[in-house]
A and B are shown apart, each in its own frame.
Chain A
Amino acid sequence: MFANFDFDVIRRSFGYLFLDGMTFTLTLTALGALGGLIFGTMIALMRLSGYKLLGRIAGLYVDLMRSLPLVLVIFWFYFLVPYIGQWLTGASRPVRVGAFTSCLVTFILFEAAYFSEIMRAGIQSISKGQPAAASALGMTYSQSMRYIVLPQAFRNMLPVLLTQTIVLFQDTSLVYVLSIPDFLGAASKVAQRDGRLVEMYLFAAIVYFAISCFASYGVRRLQARISIVR
């Protein structure tokens, strides 16, 4: 069955696949998760702030992002981000934004909606007595959030946050639709150039599978350890 396969194509393109493609994918995943977590936490705090308007805006944002397919959002932002940049900086023309930055902005804004729901659950899981005690100690709202509530919420939600990051890692493959050379994009470029779809796509599948499996195994270990400590 594998007789007329050319697995050498993988070896020949190894550097491109991993040094260019996988580096792009992993950097996008890491920065996207970090940015998404920070922005997502802000959204969660807005929703829980008690200011009706603020909460409603944040809620609408989350609902909007969660209603849209990522592919559509990727197209939207790739074309829109330079105009947003123009609007933010007051420049006279759209700001040139590279492919990577554009994708990063997309994933931060999109994933923030999902991260915010996780953080909201995390914050709500902290008993009310804790922020009450903090304010009794004379801490301001931001101090009590920063030193008491958020660290615990983050810790409790760590396995869920990491699982969401694995989803994000898989989702980055969708930048393929923009012809950007992430790992899958690189694999498909080689595949199409050399007419080796079968070999390249099988290989890409195995690589994604191995990384995701390894990462989710790590999350399960972590979860077991955290639940014992608690």
Chain B
Amino acid sequence: MNYNWNWRIFFEPAPNGTGTYLDMLLSGLVLTIETALVAWIIALVTGSIIGVFRSLPSKTANRIAFAYVEFFRNMPLLVQLFLWFFVLPELLPRSAGLWMKQMSNAPFYTAAIGIGLFMSARVAVQLAAGIGSLPRGQMQAATALGLTTSQSYRYVLLPMAFRIVLPPLTSEFLSTIKNTSVAITIGLIELTGQARAMQEFSFQVFEAFTGATLLYLLINIVVVIGMRFLERAVAVPGYITGK
């Protein structure tokens, strides 16, 4: 293989003047984590609302949830980001569109919201399945105690359902982190974007991508271990909560 390996490249100064190539990758890592966290909060909040809608006895609520989930699940994430980034500002009144486009962090907000909504459909499906897996007696008992529907969800169903779906939610969170890389197409320079930039500036393709790969593995390991502790802490006695 006629390729000039140079692992010391990570410690050589990068042209952006803020440090070495390793610093470049690390700043990408930070942006990846920030984007993923904001996106995950959006996904959890909207996903929970839609998930509850999916499980409510109301037909209208079911239909809204169904349409929502289908809308966000049946388009590639990349296309959704393009819709938010390139299409939406053009459909708004000119001044609003211009304001959106000239926000200095436009790629970050677009990515966080776009990925958040994309993931919310998945969270909704998981949560609805979790609620559906609870024995019917729980809701009946709550009603018998005189709780309203919202109270039964708040105090009985959701606390159980969230603990049950924690393992699948972990993997959805990992997907959220990975999906942030799609945002390089709208100009977000997260970890994959920084690896690409490092490759372009230094011509060390494989070192750059190896660096990014190791950092992604590191995030995964940290998240998996962290979630394992959380799962153990909140496990419902008598329930099999995955591993």
Listed in ascending order, the chain A residues whose CB lies under 8 Å from chain B are 1, 64, 66-72, 75-76, 79-80, 83, 86-87, 93-94, 170-171, 173-174, 176-177, 184, 197-198, 201-202, 204-205, 208-209, 212-213, 216
Contacts and interface: CB of A to CB of B under 8 A. Distances in A.
Contact of B192 (A69, A171, A204): A69
Given A72-B192, A75-B195, 16 more contacts: A66-B174, A68-B213, A68-B216, A69-B180, A72-B209, A75-B192, A87-B1, A170-B74, A170-B76, A171-B76, A177-B184, A201-B87, A205-B82, A208-B74, A208-B75, A216-B74
Contacts of A208: 74-76, 79
Given A79-B206, A201-B83, A201-B87, A71 B75 contact: no
A197 B86 CA distance: 7
Contact of B184 (A64, A66, A67, A71): A71
A26 to B, nearest CB: 14
A68 B70 contact: no
A62 to B, nearest CB: 12
B182 interface: yes
A198 B83 CA distance: 8
A202 B83 contact: yes
B83 A67 contact: no
Contact of B91 (A1, A75, A174, A213): A1
29 contacts: A64-B217, A67-B216, A67-B220, A68-B213, A68-B216, A69-B177, A69-B178, A69-B181, A71-B181, A72-B216, A79-B205, A80-B206, A93-B2, A170-B76, A170-B77, A173-B76, A173-B79, A174-B78, A197-B86, A197-B90, A198-B86, A198-B87, A201-B87, A204-B79, A212-B74, A213-B70, A216-B70, A216-B73, A216-B74
B75 A76 contact: no
Given A201-B83, A202-B87, A72 B212 contact: yes
Contacts of A87: 1
Given A68-B178, A70-B178, A83-B1, A170 B75 contact: yes
Nearest to B210: A76
Contacts of A198: 86-87, 90-91
Given A68-B213, A201-B82, A176 B185 contact: yes
Contacts, number: 104
A1 B88 CA distance: 12
A67 B3 CA distance: 27
Interface in B124-150: none
B2 to A, nearest CB: 8
Given A177-B185, A198-B86, A201-B86, A69 B179 contact: yes
B232 to A, nearest CB: 21
A13 B26 CA distance: 42
Interface string B40-81: 000000000000000000000000000000110111111110
B163 interface: no
Contact of B78 (A1, A76, A86, A173): A173
Contact of B75 (A75, A86, A93, A212): A212
Contacts of A184: 76, 78-79
Nearest to B220: A67
A149 to B, nearest CB: 24
A93 B213 CA distance: 26
